[in-house]
């Protein structure tokens, strides 16, 4: 009898566990799709039928008249925002209520590579952000530019070889090797040789970070469905952690654990470590009088390795993606590409044919093309926040509890005809000074917004524009036989978006006439 009762009881308990939060949005009067046990609304996402970005874009589109949409990611209630005013509140004006991203579910030593600026929350995030911001000043960026020029010249040589053979080129892979080399030089003071050697250990590291294996898929599904049980399982693959820790340890040992005159990212972190504990005002805790308490944090070698990991991963991937997606658009819009050629030629002539920091700043139309490409297909098409406390949205009856994930589907907003006329068309002039001033605020968010906006935005844009100028000054890009007009995100890479099948194009050497 006991066995029979147990046999009957277990399915009931499992069902109750797998549906335990499914009345959340109904009680609050928020429209949502019907959830299913354990997977909620995210079956297609969890089974990798669609990318996570396309999953949320689809939900955004199916509720055009709603201010808020409820979603269940597995068992977790998630709120999707559709109003730019609410985006501004969450990202900027009420940031103190939404400072967490909510990626790092458990503070545990088994996952040290997740202790980086993008994933951590609360006081550790604030202390790291304060210490790392000086690495991205205008003066530092300008000092880095000669490193970009050296890699850009190698990029042109490699591209010329492909053009001379009339080969189809996956420009995403080509440009990932370019950005890997640059990040290695400006971040770590080493020559990664990814442009010359396709099998460079650093290119392999980058490829492993972004190409998800079956074990990674199983790990992510398990952590989503059973976060408490899987709290000791690391998000970052063990081999990626080992390679990163070994790289960082080797560089720091070579420098005797002291900053050098390289002024690169490793130097910044060593300088931060040698200053002693990070100390600052808490964003999480307050004294009895309401003032923030003072918190502190040691900087150890693993914390440094985690920052290096995200600097490397984000630095090479997002920039190479934005470059390749822009070239893709220009290949299918030859008249716009011609305007880019003319601007680049004119600007470079002004600077004696040399690619330099000031020349890049003068390429206004090229920057407009980059912005338009990021509007249509941003590297980060979704932005996460999590409520740090109960919060009532102004002018509504909606109050969400602490620890509810809030989603901004910026790719959907950037392709919404409510904010952009003919959103499917590639029209760089949307971002001309005259038109940009009339653009709806808090809608174009390729780098996020507010205190948690991408810290490396200016470095990424500088690197991206330089790479585009290097290619377009020497070549015309055109569709190849395997080019597809619409870019489709791979379902196997959660963030950032990576195009399924790469970005194949033809490079044709330009014949300039004086």
- Return the bridge partners of 476, or none: 508
Query: From CA 40, how far away is CA 431, in angstroms rounded?
Result: 39
User: In this structure, what token pair is assigned to residue 322?
Assistant: 């934005």
- Find all residues with CB under 8 Å of 439, minimum gap 6, and list them: 419, 430
Contact between 117 and 455 (Cβ < 8 Å): yes
Binding residues for heme: 454
Total Cβ atoms within 10 A of residue 61: 12
> Of 431, 303, 314, 291, which Cα lies nearest the Cα of 375?
431
Query: From CA 260, how far away is CA 270, in angstroms rounded?
Result: 9
Phi, psi of 276 (to 5 degrees): 100, -160
Contact between 322 and 374 (Cβ < 8 Å): yes
Full 3-state SS string of 189-252: CCCCCCCCCCCCHHHHHHHHHHCCCHHHHHHHHHHHHCCCCCCCCCCCCHHHHHHHHHHHHHHH
Binding residues: 454
Query: From CA 382, how far away is CA 56, in angstroms rounded?
Result: 8
User: In this structure, what token pair is assigned to residue 30?
Assistant: 């928020």
Total Cβ atoms within 10 A of residue 156: 18
Query: From CA 479, how far away is CA 477, in angstroms rounded?
Result: 7
Query: From CA 408, how far away is CA 444, in angstroms rounded?
Result: 11
Query: From CA 355, how far away is CA 358, in angstroms rounded?
Result: 8
Half-sphere exposure of 271 (CA within 13 A, CB side): 14
Coil, strand or helix at 334:
helix
CA 22 to chain centre: 30
DSSP run (H or E) holding 325: helix 301-331
Query: From CA 124, how far away is CA 95, in angstroms rounded?
Result: 16
Query: From CA 196, how far away is CA 184, in angstroms rounded?
Result: 14
- Find all residues with CB under 8 Å of 146, minimum gap 6, and list them: none
User: In this structure, what token pair is assigned to residue 161?
Assistant: 């070889």
- Find all residues with CB under 8 Å of 307, minimum gap 6, and list them: 116, 117, 128, 132, 265, 269
- Return the bridge partners of 478, or none: 506
């Amino acid at each position: 009898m006991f066995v029979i009762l147990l046999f009957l009881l277990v399915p009931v308990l499992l069902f109750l566990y797998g549906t335990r939060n499914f009345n959340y949005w109904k009680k609050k009067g928020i429209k949502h799709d019907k959830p299913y046990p354990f997977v909620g609304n995210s079956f297609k996402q969890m089974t990798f039928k669609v990318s996570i970005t396309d999953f949320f874009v689809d939900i955004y589109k199916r509720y055009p008249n709603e201010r808020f949409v409820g979603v269940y990611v597995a068992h977790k209630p998630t709120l999707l925002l559709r109003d730019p005013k609410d985006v501004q509140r969450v990202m900027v004006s009420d940031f103190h209520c939404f400072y967490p991203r909510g990626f790092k579910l458990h503070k545990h030593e088994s996952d040290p590579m997740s202790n980086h600026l993008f994933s951590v929350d609360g006081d550790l995030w604030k202390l790291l952000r304060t210490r790392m911001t000086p690495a991205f000043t205008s003066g530092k960026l300008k000092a880095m530019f000669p490193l970009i020029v050296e890699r850009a010249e190698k990029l042109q040589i490699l591209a010329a070889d492909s053009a001379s053979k009339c080969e189809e080129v996956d420009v995403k892979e080509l440009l990932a090797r370019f950005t890997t080399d640059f990040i290695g030089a400006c971040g770590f003071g080493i020559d990664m040789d990814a442009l010359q050697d396709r099998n460079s250990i650093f290119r392999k590291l980058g490829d492993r970070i972004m190409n998800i294996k079956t074990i990674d898929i199983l790990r992510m599904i398990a952590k989503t469905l059973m976060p408490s049980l899987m709290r000791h399982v690391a998000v970052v693959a063990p081999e990626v952690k080992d390679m990163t820790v070994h790289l960082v340890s080797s560089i720091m040992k070579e420098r005797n654990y002291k900053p050098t005159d390289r002024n690169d990212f490793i130097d910044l972190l060593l300088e931060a470590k040698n200053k002693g504990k990070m100390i600052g005002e808490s964003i999480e805790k307050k004294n009895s009088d309401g003032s923030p308490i003072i918190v502190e944090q040691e900087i150890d070698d693993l914390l440094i390795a985690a920052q290096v990991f995200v600097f490397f991963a984000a630095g090479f991937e997002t920039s190479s993606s934005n470059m390749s997606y822009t070239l893709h658009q220009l290949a299918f819009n030859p008249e716009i590409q011609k305007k880019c050629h003319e601007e680049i030629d004119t600007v470079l002539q002004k600077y004696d044919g040399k690619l330099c920091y000031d020349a890049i700043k003068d390429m206004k139309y090229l920057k407009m093309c980059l912005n338009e490409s990021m509007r249509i297909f941003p590297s980060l098409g979704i932005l996460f926040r999590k409520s740090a406390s109960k919060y009532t949205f102004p002018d509504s009856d909606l109050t969400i509890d602490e620890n509810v994930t809030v989603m901004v589907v910026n790719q959907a907003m950037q392709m919404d005809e409510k904010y952009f006329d003919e959103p499917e068309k590639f029209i760089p002039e949307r971002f001309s000074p005259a038109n940009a001033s009339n653009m709806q605020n808090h809608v174009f968010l390729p780098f996020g917004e507010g205190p948690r906006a991408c810290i490396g935005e200016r470095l990424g844009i500088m690197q991206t524009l330089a790479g585009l100028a290097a290619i377009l000054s020497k070549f015309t890009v055109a569709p190849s036989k395997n080019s597809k007009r619409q870019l489709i995100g791979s379902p196997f890479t959660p963030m950032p978006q990576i195009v399924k099948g790469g970005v194949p194009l033809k490079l044709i050497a330009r014949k300039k006439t004086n």
